[in-house]
Amino acid sequence: MSEPRIPLLPTLMTAGNILCGYVATLQIFDGRHLADISHYHNAILLILAACVFDALDGRVARFSGSESAFGRELDSLADIVSFGVAPALLVHDIVLKDLNTPKGLGWAISCLYLVCGAIRLARFNCIAAMDTKSSSKNFCGCPIPAAAGVISSLTLLVIWLDSNEREIGNWKYALAALMVALSLIMGSNLESPSFKSVNWRTRRSINWVLAAITLIVLTVMFWQWMPAVIFVSYLLYGLVRPWISRKWQQEIEEE
C-alpha cells in the first residue's frame, strides 16, 4: 500500500490547530499551579485561535482541490485536543471543580462534554467516509469547534466580569448547565450550518462588507465579550434555523 500524499497548506493549518490546543492545555495547568488568571486568558485565546485555524484548513483544502481522507482524520485528531480536552479542562478548573453537590458532579460534566465531542467527531468521519460525494452544507449536530468557542468565550466573559468585581452569582452554574446542553446538542440530529459556501470567491453587497468590517473592529476592541456574542449567535441561529424561511437561510448562508 502506497503512502498517502499529504497536502501541505491544509496540513499546516491543522498543525496550527493542534499546537494551539496543546499550548492551551499547558497554560491551563500553569494557571492551576501558579494561581495566575492570565494563564487562563492565554488558554482561551489559544482555543479561539485554534477555531480560526480549523476554519481555514478546510477552506484551503477545498480551494486548492486537496481534500482527502488523511486531512479529515488529522483534523479530527486536532479537534479532540483543541476543542475537547482543552475546553473541558478549562471549564473544570474555573467553574466545575466548585460543584461538589453531589460529589464528582464537576468531573462528570467535563467528561460528558469530552466523550460527546469525541462521538460527534467519529460520527462525522463515518458519514463523510460513507458518502464521499456529499455536498451537504449542514453539519449533523453542533460542530465541536463551535461548542468549544461558545464555552471558552463565555468563560472569558466570566473571568472578565470577575476581574472587574462584578457580581457573577449563579451564572457559574448556568455555564455548567450550558456545557451539558452543548454535549447533548453535539450528539443530536440538529442540522447546523457549515457556511462552506463562504470562501475566497464569495461576493457580497456593500452592506454585508461594511457589517463584516464593523464586526471585526468590534471584536478587536471588545475582545473580552465579543467572541461570546459571535459564538452564542451561531448557536442560537442553529437552534431557530428550522423555523426561518428558506429565503432568509440562503441570504445568510449562501454566496
Query: 27-55: per-residue pLDDT in tens?
Result: 999 998 888 888 999 999 999 999 999 98
Lowest-pLDDT range of 62-66, 78-82, 166-170: 166-170
CA quadruple 59, 64, 65, 69: dihedral sign: negative
Closest CA to 46 of 77, 68, 74, 78: 78
CA distance 223 to 157: 9
Q: What is the pLDDT of residue 166?
A: 60
- Per-residue pLDDT tens for 91-140? 998 888 877 667 788 889 999 999 999 999 999 888 877 765 555 677 88
Highest mean pLDDT among 159-173, 184-198, 214-228: 214-228
Instruction: Find out whether 20 and 47 touch, Cβ atoms under 8 Å.
Output: yes
**Residue burial 19-56, b: 16+ Cβ < 10 Å; e: rest:** bbbbbbbebbebbbeeeeeebbbbbbbbbbbbbebbeb
Question: What does the block give as the cell for 92?
Answer: 473544570
Rounded percentage of the chain residues whose pLDDT exceeds 90 = 45
Predicted confidence (pLDDT) at residue 169 exceeds the cutoff of 70: no
Q: 139 - beta bridge partners?
A: 192
Q: What is the pLDDT of residue 199?
A: 63
CA distance 145 to 56: 12
Instruction: Find out whether 165 and 95 touch, Cβ atoms under 8 Å.
Output: no
What pTM was estimated for this model as a whole? 0.88
Q: What is the pLDDT of residue 164?
A: 66
CA distance 25 to 1: 36
Query: What angle, rounded to 10 degrees, do the helices at 144-163 and 171-186 form?
Result: 170
* Burial of residue 95 (number of CB atoms within 10 Å: 0-12, 13-18, 19+): buried
CA distance 235 to 164: 27
